[in-house]
């Protein structure tokens, strides 16, 4: 019974996600769903992207959190369109939340939209929002065993951002083991090491996004 209920929920979510996807396609905006644990650095990674790309592209951010608008307030200071969704205890965003948010959000004018999901590696992994791709954010202090322990998000993601690379010398963290485990789960996964403190990987992150924006524009 529980499996049947979950299947029904995901199917209903997918139907709404497809409607969101059509809206994004019609507006020619590329959309990324960032998923990671609390404290992994999702907001900081979005800030890096905005600083690198906002002079060239129109960027917006939808922030998902259980409570508060603190991350949205950080992003808004960078001068981009920002919207906060509070789930009031829910452990992930779903497609209906995004559909409701879009009614008051000027996504049609954007080139790039980030959706920062609620801090969680498990619950958001199966829920499509209408995005072009999921991006999983893992930070060095979390340990290198996450792809083996939480494979679904790595299987569903297009990019893994390995954040806080500046902390590798101070943590028991095996970078190559982490990458290999992730690629064992998903051989097509792109991997970028990044540090929002030192700037390591920032150019590669911006280039990855730029390439996908260009692909979207080329499709018209």
End-to-end CA distance of the chain: 44
CATH of the domain at 212: 3.40.50.300
Domain enclosing residue 104, as ranges: 2-219
> Domains in the chain: how many in total?
1
Q: Which of 153, 127, 156 is nearest to 138 (CA)?
A: 153
φ/ψ region of 84 (left if φ > 0, alpha if ψ in -120 to 50, else beta) reads beta
pLDDT in tens, the chain (220 residues): 344 545 777 899 999 999 999 999 999 999 999 999 999 999 999 999 999 999 999 999 999 999 999 999 999 999 999 999 999 889 999 999 999 999 989 999 999 999 999 999 999 999 999 999 999 999 999 999 999 999 999 999 999 999 999 999 999 999 999 999 999 999 999 999 999 999 999 999 999 999 999 998 888 6
**Which strands, in side-by-side order, build the sheet including 133-139?**
81-86, 59-65, 112-116, 30-36, 133-139, 157-163, 190-194
Residue 187 DSSP label:
T
Q: How far apart are CA 120 and CA 123, in angstroms?
A: 6
Tell me which DSSP letter residue 164 carries: -
In 3-state terms, what secondary structure has residue 55? Answer: coil
Q: Say if strands 112-116 and 133-139 run parallel, antiparallel, or are unpaired.
A: unpaired
148-181 as b/e: b if 16+ CB within 10 A: eebbebbbbbbbbbbbbbeebeeeebeeeebbeb
């Amino acid at each position: 019974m529980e499996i049947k209920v979950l299947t029904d929920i995901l199917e209903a979510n997918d139907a709404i996600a497809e409607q969101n996807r059509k809206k994004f396609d019609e507006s020619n905006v590329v959309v990324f769903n960032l998923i990671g644990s609390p404290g992994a650095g999702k907001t900081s990674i979005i800030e890096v992207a905005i600083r690198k790309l906002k002079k060239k592209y129109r960027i917006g951010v939808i922030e998902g959190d259980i409570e508060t608008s603190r991350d949205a307030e950080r992003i808004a200071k960078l001068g981009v369109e920002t919207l906060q969704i509070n789930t009031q205890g829910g452990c992930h965003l779903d497609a209906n939340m995004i559909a409701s948010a879009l009614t008051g959000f000027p996504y049609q004018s954007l080139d790039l939209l980030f959706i920062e999901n609620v801090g969680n590696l498990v619950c958001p992994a199966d829920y499509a929002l209408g995005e072009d791709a999921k991006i999983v954010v893992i930070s060095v202090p979390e340990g290198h065993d996450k792809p083996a322990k939480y494979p679904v998000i790595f299987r569903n993601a297009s990019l893994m951002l390995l954040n806080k690379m500046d902390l590798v010398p101070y943590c028991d963290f095996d970078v190559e083991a982490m990458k290999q485990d992730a690629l064992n789960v998903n051989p097509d996964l792109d991997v970028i090491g990044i540090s929002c403190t030192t700037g390591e990987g920032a150019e590669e992150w911006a280039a990855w996004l730029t390439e996908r924006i260009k692909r979207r524009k080329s499709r018209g």
